[in-house]
Amino acid sequence: MTIDAMVLDEQEVFKPLTALFDMPVNTKGAPLVYLNGNSLGPKPKRVNEAVRQHCDTWGSLGVRGHFDGANPWMSYHQRVAPQLARLVGAKPHEVVAMGTLTGNLHLLFMSFYRPTPTRYKIIHFAGFPSDTYAVRSQVQLRLQTLRDFQSDATLEHAVIEITPDDTGYIAWDTIEQVLATHGSDTAVVWFEAVHYLTGQRFDIERITQLAHHYGCKVGFDLAHAIGNVEVQLHEHDVDFAVWCHYKYVSAGPGAIAGLYVHERFACDPNYPRLAGWWGNKPATRFHMSPDFDPILGAEGWQLSNAELFSLSALHEALCLFDTVDLTALRAKNTRLVAYLEQLMRETLQDNVVMITPENPAERGCQLSFRLIGVNHLEHLETALLNLGVVCDVRRDVLRVAPMGLYNTFQDVFYFVCQLNQFIQQKSIPCAHEFSVF
* Mean pLDDT to the nearest integer, 89-97: 98
For residues 135 and 124, is the Cβ–Cβ distance under 8 A? yes
Q: Note the pLDDT tens digit of each residue in 382-408.
A: 888 988 999 998 878 899 999 999 999
Could you report the per-residue pLDDT of 267-326, keeping only the tens digit for each?
999 999 999 999 999 999 999 999 999 999 999 999 999 899 999 999 999 999 999 999
- The tens digit of pLDDT for each residue in 112-144 reads 999 999 999 999 987 889 999 999 999 999 998
Instruction: Report pLDDT for 208.
Output: 98
Q: How confident is the prediction for the chain on average, in pLDDT?
A: 93
Instruction: Give me the pLDDT at residue 437, please.
Output: 39
pLDDT digits (tens, 9 = 90+) for 30-58: 999 999 999 999 999 999 999 999 999 99
Better-predicted residue by pLDDT, 155 or 257: 257
pLDDT score at 262: 98
pLDDT above 70 for 204: yes
- DSSP at 185: G
pLDDT the model gives residue 427: 61
Domains of the chain: 5-31+326-425 (3.90.1150.10), 51-322 (3.40.640.10)
The pLDDT value recorded for residue 436 is: 42
Position 56, amino acid = D
H or E element: which one contains 141? helix 129-141
What is the distance between the alpha carbons of residues 44 and 318, in angstroms, rounded to a whole number? 10
List of residues 6+ apart from 280 with CB closer than 8 A: 292, 293, 294, 295
CB 172 within 8 A of CB 202: no
- The pLDDT value given to residue 151: 81
Closest CA to 211 of 112, 91, 94: 112
